[in-house]
Structure 1
């Protein structure tokens, strides 16, 4: 997160694990739907070098004005968003023209056998892991929504990806 600049929106901040790593942001507005996670994150705010404000909110209904943010971030969050297409529309709405996005996610893999395992495991995984979809094609959803994906790094056989780019 040290390379992320400007006014930042973090989607699904969870326990605030990213908070101490924002070095060059002006400030960070962080949303999280789970109040228990927000409570856990409150302790990490004191280790941050930039101002951070948390909000209990869902990605599908962002409580911010249009064109508010220079950068959008998220870590292992898009798998649990119930309506990712609506969330991407909201991200577009609150992003300034040319804003950057920076995500670390797990995604549906390209390897056919592994993808089949993801498909089989997803119903049980969703029930046990707070709605997590092991088989979500997150990068494709971003591209279909018009986001320009410029950089992709894959890890763990393609299950985990870091991807960045520009919001239209």
Structure 2
């Protein structure tokens, strides 16, 4: 990941965060309970919204993003442990987490299928798995626009795939999707699911 993108991320996102994303993050933060894993915590934008977590383990592979998140980490209302790790190789034991949260991160993960498998592994049977992502849209003109812009967008925004169909990947996984809610002309989606694996004997 380049150095310029993480440095301007908060400034670039500020208008849309204020206009609607803050409300979404607030709701998801309240739903995250017990021991929580946050995948791709970025600049720590979700840290202020945790209320019911016993502890949050946040992973972020980008050093600049991690550094920028420290101020929010220090002001968080719950204990947060920040780690340098990637979603495809999570440094946690099986069946560790009660809740997993990922927001606006799956567009940049190089191997999203492996990341979902790792989430399944480290979360407990029945654990809540919550996503807020932008996704490939159904509307033909917007979908074509996403496809055309993605090659350049990936270069400018450090690997972000505008046209990644994250929702389809989730539906093909062992996670049980229970709720899907769209925002902003179906470009953004909140997906609520749970880990459908069986208890180990």
Q: TM-score, normalised by structure 2?
A: 0.82
Q: Which residue among 162, 181, 199 is the counterpart of 1:134?
A: 162
Give the alignment of 1:31-110 within 5 angstroms. Answer: 31-110=59-138
Cα offset, 1:79, TM superposition: 0.1
Deviations 1:86-142 (A, max 9, x none): 101111110100000111100000111110110111111001101000001101101
Cα offset, 1:152, TM superposition: 1.1
Structure with the larger helix share: 2
- Cα distance in 2 between the residues matched to 1:66 and 1:135: 31
Cα offset, 1:49, TM superposition: 0.9
Q: Does 1:12 align with 2:40?
A: yes
Structure with the larger strand share: 1
Cα offset, 1:3, TM superposition: 1.9
- Cα distance in 2 between the residues matched to 1:110 and 1:149: 19
- Cα distance in 1 between the residues matched to 2:183 and 2:62: 28
Aligned to 2:14: none
Give the alignment of 1:113-124 within 5 angstroms. Answer: 113-124=141-152
- Cα distance in 2 between the residues matched to 1:106 and 1:142: 13
Aligned to 1:159: 187
- Kindly indicate whether the alpha-carbon contact (under 8 Å) linking 2:120 and 2:174 is maintained by their aligned counterparts in 1: no
Structure 1 segments of 4+ aligned residues over 6 angstroms from their partners:
none
Cα offset, 1:34, TM superposition: 0.1
Q: TM-score, normalised by structure 1?
A: 0.98
- Cα distance in 2 between the residues matched to 1:9 and 1:137: 23
